[in-house]
Structure 1
């Protein structure tokens, strides 16, 4: 660290469970952000299988706690994250802090808990670098939703853009951030992002995702199914609100062909974004889209059609969409070291701005 600037690594393994994103940035924890490096390390199918088994076990529990299967997976995840950091840094060890999100296995803010596996203390010891982990727990304990957390980083990135700005993140779960010209910051989950589409394609095609949206593009959208799936009180609830990745199922599309199911689920994701827009303080002029969903042209087309708003990848304003979540946790780790909040009443519903994350020294 020099002159108030930190070099920070951020680690993210999202709800899509496709692998680890690792990003290196320079930041002051406020408006200054300079990207320095990024890589992505895919999980093998064995690891994904262990994660799915751990998630199934976690969802059946009343609270986080010791579990042999989950604990073993957590140790594996920690080792893989350590390897990702080493690969990112190579011989450059001049890093002040690592932001380690870990892997969410269950998110139950309505029950007062959220569970991300991964051992921050072990990671700090392995790498001999200070680690900040467990970013969501303080917010949930204070009465917040624990998600989404990226809005504070979106605000830093958007400091040079004319407002209002709307950032739509389409990972496993979708969430939207509204940044007003008057410092208004509103954020909430919109519904499933890629999760249902990925699950459907894995089950019907034996592959991880609908590459290029090709399967969905070849199918027919069953609008009655979209309407049935969207007919949930949750979509009408005002923010703040958040979802677990497994809050929705594939039951409504179970009788459709592979192509029609993909098309219908893709349309449903776009429809949930349309349902989210009336909850924003103002109608955005465009959506800046990040997350894996922006690589799906069928989903991007449906977004624009259903919302009536141009939908552009965040790269159009010079941001790194693939790296953004990992960068965000590097940024939040620096804020934790400075005692600055990462969640706010308008983003998670927490009663007051809250400092999140637990610091582990090597």
Structure 2
């Protein structure tokens, strides 16, 4: 059986799709990376579907179909650039696009929703598809997120060392891989999501390149404390979050008393919020952490990386590129790895990260 898998990830930042073609025959070897931005109309619709609206079921199904066409395009791009034949790929791990994340709410298990049409993706690519990774964990009493800590341990873990892995996408999440073999993983809070939305609103740009706009102003401490007063930050893990909580209405409500602040100062404060949400959790759970590996789009934000280092003076803060895998490839590679686990029927015990009752095989399989 082939040990080559494709992982596809579109995260809460809504900037597009990243895909990785990985070979697991001897550890992890990335054979190719490809990405595709979202068409503005699709991005707008995916963002709108994070909130209640008219004819949601119809719109969600069509958005899922459109998303699969982008996914399929990335798959074909990976095969074309790597020279790997379609028949040599065992399966695709497709995360889908999260539009609601409400685990352990309402009726006990709650729910999490990732728009994905795996049957359509299997038709478009001719490759088996593994998808719907989070729902089994939620059914088993877990948060459904984060799922990456086991992959982080497989990729970055070192025997006898405690290492932190911080993924900063739209939301930030932290994996603590401890020297004794134990592990802790949870969402910290906002990542790039609020900063991107504010930048789009005031500069007409999808994101603040290298954090340059934020770096040109001083955070407002009163606003920062108002934002940090959100109860989620004080909640003990296991915990996860998303745009259901940290969205533009949440921000606008808290900005009501700060209408006189210049937009650039708000951006600086949002960058500081992300840095504090992450660094405070490191200090709370692993204050003597020697090394923090940062991945996701946030690792490309020079200002944010500097702030993390300043807030964690005793910790070496590095990009995942320095640890062997570029920041924009880590999450996609994680879902290739999770697809392999599902195909091999290997359960993951996520008790220490999601709070699930026990080990479960994550993901359903749609044969080509």
Q: Which residue of 2 aligns with 1:277?
A: 282
Indicate whether 1:143 and 2:141 are aligned: yes
The alignment's TM-score, normalised by the length of structure 2, stands at 0.91
Residue 65 of structure 2 is aligned with which of 67, 75, 84? 75
Contact 1:238 1:279 in 2 (8 A): no
- Provide the C-alpha distance between the structure 1 equivalents of 2:199 and 2:131, rounded to a whole number of angstroms: 32
Q: Which residue of 2 aligns with 1:325?
A: 331
Comparing 34-43 and 304-313, the one that deviates more:
304-313
Contact 1:179 1:185 in 2 (8 A): yes
Structure 1 unaligned spans of 5+: none
Matches within 5 A, 1:118-133: 118-133=116-131
**Cα distance, 1:233 vs. partner?**
2.7
Contact 1:178 1:185 in 2 (8 A): yes
Contact 1:149 1:342 in 2 (8 A): no
Contact 2:171 2:190 in 1 (8 A): yes
Secondary structure of residue in 1 paired with 2:60 = helix
- Provide the C-alpha distance between the structure 2 equivalents of 1:162 and 1:319, rounded to a whole number of angstroms: 22
Secondary structure of residue in 2 paired with 1:106 = strand
Residue 38 of structure 1 is aligned with which of 33, 42, 54? 33
Contact 1:54 1:73 in 2 (8 A): no
**Cα distance, 1:245 vs. partner?**
2.5
Residue 227 of structure 1 is aligned with which of 214, 225, 230? 225
Comparing 341-350 and 110-119, the one that deviates more:
341-350
- Provide the C-alpha distance between the structure 2 equivalents of 1:42 and 1:281, rounded to a whole number of angstroms: 36
1:203-243, Cα deviation, whole Å (9 max, x unpaired): 11111000111110111210111111112332222211000
**Cα distance, 1:161 vs. partner?**
6.4
**Cα distance, 1:159 vs. partner?**
4.0
- Provide the C-alpha distance between the structure 1 equivalents of 2:57 and 2:19, rounded to a whole number of angstroms: 27
Residue 214 of structure 2 is aligned with which of 216, 220, 239? 216
Matches within 5 A, 1:224-263: 224-248=222-246, 249-251=250-252, 252-253=254-255, 255=259, 256-263=261-268
Residue 362 of structure 2 is aligned with which of 352, 356, 359? 356
- Provide the C-alpha distance between the structure 1 equivalents of 2:316 and 2:222, rounded to a whole number of angstroms: 25
State the superposition RMSD in angstroms. Answer: 1.9
1:235-256, Cα deviation, whole Å (9 max, x unpaired): 2222110001241222234622
**Cα distance, 1:154 vs. partner?**
0.5
- Provide the C-alpha distance between the structure 2 equivalents of 1:47 and 1:235, rounded to a whole number of angstroms: 31
Q: Which residue of 1 aligns with 2:271?
A: 266
Secondary structure of residue in 2 paired with 1:175 = strand
Residue 201 of structure 2 is aligned with which of 200, 203, 212? 203
Contact 1:23 1:327 in 2 (8 A): yes
Q: Which residue of 1 aligns with 2:75?
A: 85
Contact 2:12 2:242 in 1 (8 A): no
Matches within 5 A, 1:109-124: 109-111=103-105, 112-124=110-122
Secondary structure of residue in 2 paired with 1:207 = coil
Contact 2:172 2:191 in 1 (8 A): yes
**Cα distance, 1:89 vs. partner?**
0.6
Runs of 4+ in 1 over 6 A off after TM superposition: none
Contact 2:22 2:28 in 1 (8 A): yes
Contact 2:166 2:293 in 1 (8 A): yes
Comparing 32-41 and 46-55, the one that deviates more:
46-55
> How many residues in Structure 1 have an aligned counterpart in Structure 2?
352
Matches within 5 A, 1:1-12: 1-2=1-2, 6-12=3-9
**Cα distance, 1:280 vs. partner?**
2.2
1:268/1:207 CA distance change after superposition, 3 Å: same
**Cα distance, 1:276 vs. partner?**
1.1
The alignment's TM-score, normalised by the length of structure 1, stands at 0.93
Q: Which residue of 2 aligns with 1:293?
A: 298
Comparing 282-291 and 208-217, the one that deviates more:
282-291
Comparing 229-238 and 125-134, the one that deviates more:
229-238
- Provide the C-alpha distance between the structure 1 equivalents of 2:98 and 2:207, rounded to a whole number of angstroms: 20
1:162/1:35 CA distance change after superposition, 3 Å: farther
- Provide the C-alpha distance between the structure 1 equivalents of 2:127 and 2:31, rounded to a whole number of angstroms: 18
Structure 2 unaligned spans of 5+: none
Contact 1:273 1:307 in 2 (8 A): no
**Cα distance, 1:146 vs. partner?**
0.5
